Amino acid sequence: MSRISTLAGAVTCALALVTGSAVAASAAPADQAPGAAAAEAKVDPVAWTPCNPDPSKPDPGVYDCAVYPVPLDYDNPDGEKVGIAMMRRRASDPSKRIGSLFMNPGGPGGSGYMWATTTRFGAEVQSRFDLVGFDPRGVARSNPLKCFKTQEEADAVSGRMVGVPITRAEIDATLDADQDYTDACSKNAGPLIEHMSTINVVRDLDRMRRAVGDAQLTFAGFSYGTLIGSTYANMYPSKVRAIIIDGNVDPALRLSDGMEYDRQRADGFELALDEFLKRCQAAGAPRCAFGEGDTRAKFDGLRDHLRTTPVTLPGGTKVTLSTFTEQVASALYSQAKLAGLAKQLQALYQVVEKPSAPGLMAPKATAAADDANQLAVSVPRALREAPADSPYTGDDSYLAVNCQDKPYPSNDRAFANVARKWEKAAPTFGRYQAFDAPACASWPAPAVDAERFTGPWNRKSANTVMVIGNLYDPATQYKFAQRMQEELGNAVLVSVDSIEHCAVGRSKALNELVTRYLVDQKAPAAGQLLKPDLDPFPAV
């Protein structure tokens, strides 16, 4: 979900993954039990080496990098190893250093390596903690899981997929391409594909916690990272010092019913879209470029037009239902993008409202072409942070984790069958979300065969977990945050009135609570509703 751009010159070394047969996962890992002896077995310390995140600039002299070996298969801890790429920003006040703050930006498949450089946390947190970012197993620099050997092979498959397929031909082509994709994964991904579930990421995290010398874990997880944090709190409840989870999944639902979880995700996008349209109309034009007239009716008209008729812009680019839906979904992730989205929608509305010919832009609307062009750009669902000379730059860890964590039907036609039903309740995002994971139907290592942590979720952690939820989070709707707080055995929920995915760094009031929680272990009072710092449609 979150993606942080790779900076040239970052550490590129990684432990080689030795090829071999994967060991079958056990159904009940021993380290699920609180206080299990294996949880505190000694591990080798991290071998940090000074590094510069951006060699094009002077070395700030506060960063270190490492590749830390962890077992490929925890049922065979002395066997093959996976290298976890780590970066830390050393605490600016070593005399008052508390420990390490580990971070995960979500995804699954999001690279957390460069999060050691994040500014989401204030100066006091940076002075008291080493900020530690890492790429989870199979992600970016940590033995990236790859289903193709070349980009050309990948493009030949992905080019047949339609993001929001409508016709039978589009649906059949997409499902066939998904099958070819999973065939490639089975052929090329190697033994790592058997060990990508979140339970293994959490085991890796606990090893890293011990390897940096921390008696308990301090962690901030965003989006999918909230599943990592909540799983850790229940696998190692006595080892929780402070865990922040922001943009929350519903762990119990996610790990029990992938289809229903995805259906409810579609509802979350619809709620965020509806609130965007309401706030845009309330602000009016010119504060919100799309704010003149009935914004809901205008938007629905655009979407319904695109279901049958793509719109070709003067430069030759074409807005399709897929690119339109992807761009709207992407913009809802960030409050800072909402004003831009409004301009794009208004530009397209002017094109569609009075065209000179079906699907063509009217001359009077050509001035708006630049704004409308963005809606013609396809949004990649996953992009690995690979060196420029990589023969294949795609990311396959998103599905590798989801297909192992989330149980799905083994018949890919089930996804097509629910699409029409879902879009009745979620007209913009129901079909879009229904086609998020058909590949899981034929995934080489599906959830039904995987070693997974499926609860219980209510173990009482040593310290309170801080749950954060935006009221109009598109990707992980607010109900998920409420459920997360209810499901955990020791948690408090703080809410933010914002249309955005995740909230830390977007509200000074929230960041003060975060700082006190991390530094002083002071859990925030329950029931707080905060405001974001910025208005998406400020007065002009």
For 454, other C-beta atoms within 10 Å of its C-beta total: 16
Contact 161, 177 (CB under 8 A): yes
Q: Give the model's pLDDT for residue 384.
A: 58
Q: What's the pLDDT score for residue 368?
A: 58
Opening angle at CA 504, ends 503 and 507, nearest 5: 80
CB 321 within 8 A of CB 166: yes
β-strand partners of 129: 99
SS3 of 40-101: the string is HCCCCCCCCEECCCCCCCCCCCCEEEEEEEEECCCCCCCCCEEEEEEEEECCCCHHHCCEEE
Nearest to 251 by CA among 182, 193, 202: 202
In a 3-state reduction of DSSP, which class is residue 2? Answer: coil
pLDDT at 382: 57
Please say whether the beta carbons of 255 and 113 come within 8 A. Answer: no
SS3 32: helix
The three-state secondary structure class of 449 is helix
pLDDT in tens, the chain (540 residues): 332 222 223 333 334 333 233 333 333 443 444 444 444 889 999 999 999 999 999 999 999 999 999 999 999 999 999 999 999 999 999 999 999 999 999 999 999 999 999 999 999 999 999 999 999 999 999 999 999 999 999 999 999 999 999 999 999 999 999 999 999 999 999 999 999 999 999 999 999 999 999 999 999 999 999 999 999 999 999 999 999 999 999 999 999 999 999 999 999 999 999 999 999 999 999 999 999 999 999 999 999 999 999 999 878 899 999 999 999 999 999 999 999 999 999 999 998 886 554 544 444 445 556 789 999 998 876 555 666 677 888 889 999 999 999 999 999 999 999 999 999 999 999 999 999 999 999 999 999 888 999 999 999 999 999 999 999 999 999 999 999 999 999 999 999 999 999 999 999 999 999 999 999 999 999 999 999 999 999 987
Please tell me the total number of residues recorded for the chain in this structure: 540
Which residues does residue 522 pair with via DSSP β-bridges, in sequence order?
A: none
pLDDT for 381 equals 63
